[in-house]
Structure 1
Amino acid sequence: MVDIKLTCVPLRSGEQTIGGLVTLERLERPMHIISVFSTDGVFTYISPTVTPLLGYLPEEVIGKPSAAFNHPDEIMQLVEFRGLSYIERDSVRFIGRVRHKNGEYRLYETTSEYVRDESGEIVQTICIGRDITGLRQAEGR
């Protein structure tokens, strides 16, 4: 058995919490994008790293459906995948193409965590994505 100690720290201005323990700002890394979605797939938060990585300002993304940024050929597959994931598990990982503001598509590996209320219903989705385009190109895929 491993003992894990969680420490609550005071929030800095502009930070949001996940479960009251960890702040989104502190999770951000220059090569990762953190996003939060409502149950209907609309962005409610996206980290400022979206600007250097995908060219969008956060306010250009928040309030829009995630499908607006996915490759059109993958939208139905992604919707089906998310539907199955909601039923079967609380955390999933998937790879898909995301549209950069300049129109090109980047390959992203995204891990999603589903946040549920007391009754078990999903209330939001928290995602951490990283661009793996260069890695896949180096692998020759």
Structure 2
Amino acid sequence: MSTARRAAGAAKTPGQLFGLVFGAVYVLVGILGFIDPLVGDDDRLLGIFGITPLHNVAHLAVGALLLFGSRAPDTARIVNLVVGIVYLLLGVLGLFGFLIEDGQAIDLNNNAAGTVLHFATAALALYFGTAGSGDDRTTSTA
């Protein structure tokens, strides 16, 4: 597919589609985290994922960033890489308990389910920021 056709908005790269879909999901999760019946008394979204208001705002910000990045292939690649690196760091911090309530770093009320999702998001974002970006400008060494 030519770059000119992509620029005209006819088709999006896999990296852009990732940003569009995951951006919408993260915005939705950020909004749902503020709805009391879905959170309950234990500060767990749907009874599974630990959250705080800061966590919800972070989801809204990441979702907005991914949606913004999905507008152009180069922007999607860069945003996906940045989100992937940040979520990899969050996964590692969560693994060592730095993101739990009253934790040693940030109070994001993260739990094991959240840590697994951070690693999954990191893996997908890094993939779509690199090999799966859909960027046609790769060079081959023959």
TM range (shorter): under 0.3
Structure 2-normalised TM-score?
0.23
As a proportion of its length, which structure holds more helix?
A: 2
As a proportion of its length, which structure holds more strand?
A: 1
Structure 1-normalised TM-score?
0.23
Which structure has the larger Rg?
Answer: 2
